[in-house]
Structure 1
Amino acid sequence: MITNYTLLFYLKKPKKYESGPMPIYMRIKVNGKSAEISVCRKASPDRWCSKSHRENGTKDSTKGLNSYLDNLQKLLAEAHLKLMHERKKITALSLKNKFLDRNDKYYLILELFKAHNAEMESMLGVEFEPNTLKGYKTSLGHLQNYIKTKYKKADLEIDRLDYSFIRDYDYYLKKEAKCLPVTVAKYIKHLKKIVNHCLKTKLLKENPFSEYKPKLKIRERDFLTQEQLDRIITREIESQRVEQVRDIFVFCCYTGLSYADVKKLSRNEIVPGIDGEQWIMTTRKKTETSSKIPLLKPALVIIEKYKDHPRCENDGIVLPVLSNQKMNSYLKEIAKECDITQNLTFHLARHTFATTVTLTNGVPIESVSKMLGHLDIKTTQHYAKVIDLKISKDMQALRKILDEQVD
């Protein structure tokens, strides 16, 4: 059975169009269903003929454009003939893919995203953590809703993924999904990972992210002042479990370890350093980078306090860390008891180490970056922007020097 098709060249009006040439698209239609392809050419609306679907005029540029469109029409006819000879089903999409020389295999955005997540799931515990997979699954859900809302489809061909797609998805996440800017940046980053895969495997010829510029403003890192930290340290706590959480939080304030890293910290990772003092020599779970941290006295006191704890002795760990959910729940109790207004979480301890404990006391930012296990010192520089106390101390020292020079 012969399946016929229709071909139409038309001008597609861009969003926020005001004036000037419009992109030319070709629409292939088979049995009521259509597929579109950009011809990578433009034409002025006042010169375009809606009957002939060509540009009017006798200019060389017009003749060249119309000749180009005639050639595309011939190439589509050849693609249609090839499908017939191969006795393959002719649809708008199969004809489009044959025309584009895709060997009848077309790729869908959500299909590729799902394949990525399935591969990630197979690597849990080896290369990825469950929370990472959870984030990508949530990201996939938002992308599904966006495509369904905007395009009224269950999935979309990968070649539809262009700058406009990304820009509108960014807007959707902020406006419709009510995501915070930092969350939007994370989901866009997930999509970019899929795009990079498509670029490397030649599924995409051009990078749709080349013109996209995220508008994320770096949030200032919140942290505890020394006075607030001292308040937590000296607070009398009746509950042994809450006291244990407080101690581990304080330990992280003086070491910069994240929850994941302090939980896995083993006793054999506490070793003599280059200066003969006790150091933490560990590898960050998140980035797998080396982290070497000289232990300060408050941290050493806490290690000594829990050295005989049954869990620490049995498992060879430094501290008896509870689940993240329980730890953060107890931290809220501690914050209330100590009149701490900040949202007391384990990551706040890491911020406090970077600011109050180290940078404010004159530790060079390069050393802080190394101890935190940052891959890029720019990440550490975000902390340096919030240390007014350090600036004040530096300026006081400068005033003293200048005053002595005047005298």
Structure 2
Amino acid sequence: MEILFYRHQTKGQKKKQTCTIYHRITINGERADLYSTHIDCNYPDWDTGRQRVMSSDDHSMYKNAKLSEIETRLVELYTMLTLRRNPFTAHQIKELYMSNTSELTFMDTFRKWIKTMRDAGAPKKQTIDRYEDVGDNVLKFLITRKKQNELLENFDVDLLKQFKSYLIKQHYADATIRKSQSVIKDMLTWAKSEKLLTSNPLDGHRIKHEKTKPHVFLSVAQFELLRSHHFSNDKLQQTADIFILYCRTGFHDQDLKNMAAQGETVIYKVAGYDFIKWSRIKTEEMAKVPASAWPEINQIIAKYGGWHKLPFISGQKMNDYLKLMAMELNVEISKMPLSYRQQINLEPVSLKLSVKAGRKTLADWLLNELNWSRSAVKVVLGLKSDRSLDSYVREDERRVAHELRKLQQA
């Protein structure tokens, strides 16, 4: 390792013939700038050959002692990493030196990555918040293994698999587990690009996609029952009314609440239809919902006297009431003759019903019942890609039946 101390001047220092001593290290041709030592001197008082302040400076002994102290610290870090017998970079020494620590831990690097993204303002705040949640889970996992100070370079495939097992035991969804693993891999890729690692210990490791689970949504028959059924109490009736709005706007919980607060101000006339134009909180993509094309929306808004008077409750309470709502609907379904239920294709409502099912209900209705194109469905939902649409709906046999009818009519 080569350590270089050198003079650096600002415009003001040039006028005064003074300078600040900067420093950098080089290892196998790789250079890492360590910037200012915070030691100043007159420009002519610096000995470039010795890399020390000359005795002509009244404080040369003190300043040179500080330079020797810096040099000793850098050599100590270099020796420590060399004794580990693992490859390392000049930037790893820089990180340890600048953070005044002896270990480059996984969690310290993760926090640095989060801070770098927040300072850059990208990706979006909500995304970074989710990444931070992943970091919190990693820390909890490492604490259970008594490895909270695990070195960055040691977070390998084996440790990632242990983390995955930990998340499974904590009953996280498959999609969350996969995303958490991807976030860790992204962080290690960043660390390598910043030369905090000589290699990414997860390079070449493929994170498997989660198994596709059946979408939870209301069929046409279930939705019609929801609309026509008179619930046993006001709370369930209000829950049903609000859920109908989720099923016809396709909004997520907070999007609908925020949109309702603005009401008519976000509704525009396009080609004779009233469209709700709303920038989605999660992606800032614009959803364009033809509200006037579906009478259920206006019926409910009129019932409560305006968007701003809708009886919203918290997302968690809403999901709890939706399960009670599903149970009451299933009691009603059980009273119907089996032949009638089969005739109208009415199955029991899933007890896993949640606010998200409203968005999936709209997507399924448009794509598989009304046979809309994927492009049109993406416009309504505020989506950019087919992959994002797949997370809400997939074509099924109803689309095949539609194509068969087209053949018969040809």
TM-score of the pair, normalised by structure 2: 0.64
Please say if 1:211 is aligned against 2:204: yes
Please say if 1:87 is aligned against 2:72: yes
Please say if 1:113 is aligned against 2:107: no
CA contact (8 A) 2:368 2:399 kept: yes
Aligned residue in 2 for 1:144: 139
Please say if 1:287 is aligned against 2:278: no
Please say if 1:242 is aligned against 2:236: yes
Change (3 A) 1:121 1:303: farther
- Report deviation, 1:294: 0.9
CA contact (8 A) 1:256 1:349 kept: yes
- Report deviation, 1:127: 4.9
Aligned residue in 2 for 1:202: 195
Please say if 1:321 is aligned against 2:321: no
* 2:151 maps to amino acid: E
CA contact (8 A) 1:331 1:344 kept: yes
CA contact (8 A) 1:223 1:348 kept: yes
* 1:327 maps to amino acid: M
Secondary structure (helix, strand or coil) at the match of 2:125 reads coil
Change (3 A) 1:332 1:118: farther
How do residues 167-206 of structure 1 correspond to structure 2 at under 5 angstroms? 167-174=161-168, 176-206=169-199
Change (3 A) 1:253 1:200: same
Please say if 1:359 is aligned against 2:368: yes
Q: Which of 252, 261, 276 is the matching residue for 1:258?
A: 252
5+ long unaligned stretches in structure 1: 1-81, 313-318
Q: Deviations over 1:187-226 (max 9, x none)?
A: 2133234224324433234344441222222323221110
Give the Cα separation in 2 of the matches to 1:326 and 1:136: 26
Give the Cα separation in 2 of the matches to 1:115 and 1:321: 39
Give the Cα separation in 2 of the matches to 1:184 and 1:127: 21
Q: Deviations over 1:222-241 (max 9, x none)?
A: 21110011111111125333
Change (3 A) 1:90 1:362: same
Aligned residue in 1 for 2:326: 335
Aligned residue in 2 for 1:376: 385
Secondary structure (helix, strand or coil) at the match of 2:249 reads coil
* 1:244 maps to amino acid: Q
Secondary structure (helix, strand or coil) at the match of 2:73 reads coil
Please say if 1:161 is aligned against 2:155: yes
The number of aligned residues is 307
Give the Cα separation in 1 of the matches to 2:399 and 2:156: 46
Secondary structure (helix, strand or coil) at the match of 1:86 reads helix
CA contact (8 A) 2:118 2:128 kept: no
Secondary structure (helix, strand or coil) at the match of 2:190 reads helix
CA contact (8 A) 2:89 2:195 kept: no
CA contact (8 A) 2:242 2:312 kept: yes
5+ long unaligned stretches in structure 2: 1-66, 98-102, 331-348
How do residues 47-58 of structure 1 correspond to structure 2 at under 5 angstroms? none
- Report deviation, 1:92: 7.8
- Report deviation, 1:337: 1.0
Give the Cα separation in 2 of the matches to 1:378 and 1:127: 20
CA contact (8 A) 1:253 1:357 kept: no
* 2:248 maps to amino acid: Y
Change (3 A) 1:245 1:114: same
- Report deviation, 1:370: 1.9
Give the Cα separation in 1 of the matches to 2:128 and 2:238: 28
Give the Cα separation in 2 of the matches to 1:239 and 1:123: 51
Secondary structure (helix, strand or coil) at the match of 1:334 reads helix
- Report deviation, 1:372: 1.1
Change (3 A) 1:110 1:300: same
Give the Cα separation in 2 of the matches to 1:359 and 1:97: 63
Please say if 1:277 is aligned against 2:273: yes
How do residues 126-137 of structure 1 correspond to structure 2 at under 5 angstroms? 127-129=124-126, 133=129, 136=131
Give the Cα separation in 2 of the matches to 1:299 and 1:333: 23
Give the Cα separation in 1 of the matches to 2:149 and 2:274: 56
Change (3 A) 1:100 1:213: closer
Secondary structure (helix, strand or coil) at the match of 1:154 reads coil
CA contact (8 A) 1:292 1:370 kept: yes
Aligned residue in 2 for 1:304: 302
Change (3 A) 1:122 1:199: closer
Change (3 A) 1:225 1:115: same
